[in-house]
Amino acid sequence: MTTMNTLSLTAPGGYRPLTRSVMLTTLGLSVAVSFGIFVILDLGGTTQSFNIVGAVVVAAVINVVLIYVLSRISEGRRKATDRLMTGLVTTAFLITLLPLISLIFTTVVNGLPRFDLTFFSSSMRNVVGAGGGGLHALMGTLEITGAATLISVPVGLLSAIYLVEYGRGRLSQAITFFVDVMTGIPSIVAGLFAFALFAIFFGPGIRFGIGGAVALSVLMIPVVVRSTEEMLKLVPNELREASYALGVPKWLTVVKVVLPTAVGGIITGIMLSISRIIGETAPLLIIVGMSTSMNYDLFSDRMATLPVFVYTEYANQGADTQAYLDRAWTGALVLILIVMVLNFGARLLSRLLSPKGMQ
């Protein structure tokens, strides 16, 4: 029991580790005290309603401090610091969950009232006040995102193939570096670029869907390149060498051996990159504009898109404020649902499609 003796030197009352039951009691105590305080504050009229976020945060703080003091007394300074930091780090995680929970909760609660058939079957044409829907915006988003995907995927895939299979020396280094830099382009700058590009040819009043697709491609290409590159690098070299040894040309090796091996990861990457750009608002606000009617033509006139729809419904509330807010929240809910489906679908696909043995 020498360890016990050395450790007991650091703690005034002898080394007694905190047991699980002590920890749980402390937690229960802090929660009770904190919620008690907030209930009293609420009943006393200091706060307008029971502040659950405040109560949880105060409970966490009380708990961390209590554990620290207890541990300091029974376990010594070093162990107490360890417990304090563990508590703080866990609290950091829990605090970050608060906005996520609050955001999803508010979106679902506020979005459900208009999450109905009308929303998905009508546009905002001639709608003032209640009614109307986001079909035009949904179609616009699907078209523009689809066009952006059509531009980005071939370019991104081929660039990644170049970087992994062919690229040597300065040029591939430069491409790698600038792809990384491009990942950080602010979305609004991409929108301005698309506008500047088309304004030179079509004049400063230009607004059309394909411009939005170009802007989104600028944001999407680097993500596709990055993820595809990572996946291609995971393909074992033995597969390539076996293919060469059989006399298969390099391009057929890439197309028939390398790409099929990595296809799960590549599709996952593409879906995640779509989920990243489908919620972009700023570039579309600039180059695509907004419309209240259906417009299926990417090459002429303004188009509505879901993110811009949410923004304009909020920003230009009419007389019947609630109707506009409801539509904005429903738009937001649809957007979040699309993004979540893409995210979970991507993860599921990567599980299903990854080659046996790499799971």
Partner 1 sequence: MTAPIQVRSPKRRGDQVFSTSALVAGVAILIVLAAVAIFLVAESLPAFLANPADISSDGSGFWGLVGPLVFGTIWAAALALLIALPLSIGIALFISHIAPRKLAQGLGYIIDLLAAVPSVVFGLWGITVLAPAVQPFFVWLVDNVGWIPLFAGPVSGTGRTVLTVAVVLAVMIIPIITAISREVFLQTPRLHEEAALALGATRWEMIQMAVLPFGRPGLISATMLGLGRALGETMAVAMVLSPSVIISFALLQSQNPTTIAANIALNFPEASGIGVNVLIGTGLLLFIITLIVNSIARVAINRRKAFSGAN
Residues 234-253 contacting partner 1, CB under 8 A: 249-252
Residue whose entry in the numeric block shows the structure tokens 């009308």: 118
Least distance (Å) from partner 1 to the CB of residue 90? 6
Which positions from 19 through 38 interact with partner 1, judged by CB under 8 A?
A: none
Instruction: Return the H-helix or E-strand segment holding 285.
Output: helix 282-287
Which positions from 51 through 70 interact with partner 1, judged by CB under 8 A?
A: 53
Report residue 158 CA to chain centroid gap. 26
Least distance (Å) from partner 1 to the CB of residue 85? 4
What's the CA angle centered on 219, arms 260 and 287, to 5 degrees? 130
Q: Which of 311, 326, 327, 354 binds partner 1 (CB under 8 A)?
A: 311
Which positions from 153 through 192 interact with partner 1, judged by CB under 8 A?
A: 154-159, 161-163, 165-167, 171-172, 174-175, 177-190, 192
Report residue 150 as tokens.
């059509």
Report residue 249 as tokens.
């040309």
Least distance (Å) from partner 1 to the CB of residue 65? 17
Which residue, 332, 288, 271, 275, is CA-closest to 306? 332
Q: For residue 207, give the 3-state DSSP assignment.
A: coil
Q: Provide the 10 A C-beta neighbour count for residue 13.
A: 10
Q: Which of 222, 264, 265, 269 binds partner 1 (CB under 8 A)?
A: 222
Least distance (Å) from partner 1 to the CB of residue 299? 20
Burial of 227 (0-12, 13-18, 19+ CB in 10 A): buried
Q: For residue 290, give the 3-state DSSP assignment.
A: coil
Q: Which of 24, 39, 43, 103 binds partner 1 (CB under 8 A)?
A: 103
Stretch binding partner 1 (CB under 8 A), from 9-17, 128-136, 221-229, 292-300 = 221-229
- Pair 33, 54: CB distance under 8 Å: no
Which positions from 200 through 219 interact with partner 1, judged by CB under 8 A?
A: 200, 204, 218
**Can residue 128 be called a binding residue for partner 1 (CB under 8 A)?**
no
**Can residue 79 be called a binding residue for partner 1 (CB under 8 A)?**
yes
Stretch binding partner 1 (CB under 8 A), from 36-44, 60-68, 83-91, 115-123 = 83-91
**Can residue 322 be called a binding residue for partner 1 (CB under 8 A)?**
no
93 vs 121, which CB is nearer to partner 1?
A: 93
Integer Cα distance of 248 and 322 in angstroms: 65
Q: Give the CA-trace dihedral at 182, 186, 191, 197, to 10 degrees.
A: -40
